[in-house]
Amino acid sequence: PLTRMDPIRDAHMKLLARDLLALTVGPSTSTDPVSFSTRGGRPVSRAEAVGVVVSRDRGDKFLRFLVDDGTGCIPCILWLNHHLLLHHQTGGGPLPPLPRFLAGRSHSEIEMMGQFAKGHAESAQLGALVRVRGRVTAYRGAVQLTVEGVAAERDPNAEVLHWLQCVRLARRCYGMLPPPPAAPTSSIQNKRKAPSV
């Protein structure tokens, strides 16, 4: 059985949209409010995908966009509210609680992450081929990617390479696909001696 010590669990797993959207939601634990796993039972917490931005909705606190990789559309959310989390509310009240992924980080580190988030938002333009990395989360029962980074891909072959890497990793590392068919044996090995009469 796979445990929390699985080395792939906290790595960004390269996944196609169909595999990301097919992740099963597991029971919540004290450390993980929601957990996800592949069809083969391997736990997943972070993922990477490559595709074209086909929808984009920017609000004051977030950028919501869809990445289409040819197998489906991945809902992505990039939080842009770092500055709001650091400053007192207008009434001088207490600071709002920090999300888990920001807990324990310094004020300057959170400000820097906010600047990076703004840069990532600029990369996620409609029609752009992008590579997104982030935490697998759920919103209203649907799987989504809470984005940690967006990079515009300049090489048009990046998407095809990502597909090939996903299939290879799904088969060899993630246990999601059956192994490839065995190579045919040579005709010499298949010949049997005919019984002599």
Per-domain boundaries in the chain:
12-178
- HSE of 89, CA atoms in CB hemisphere, 13 A: 6
Cβ(107)–Cβ(86) below 8 Å? yes
pLDDT attached to residue 11: 80
d(CA 48, CA 67) in angstroms, rounded, equals: 11
The total of other beta-carbon atoms located within 10 Å of residue 103's CB is 8
Regarding pTM above 0.75, the answer is no
Strands 46-58 and 12-14: parallel
Residue numbers in the chain where pLDDT is lower than 50: 1-2, 88-91
**Adjacent-strand bridge partners of 48:** 14, 133
pLDDT attached to residue 89: 34
CATH number, span 12-178: 2.40.50.140
Cβ(77)–Cβ(144) below 8 Å? yes
pLDDT attached to residue 109: 73
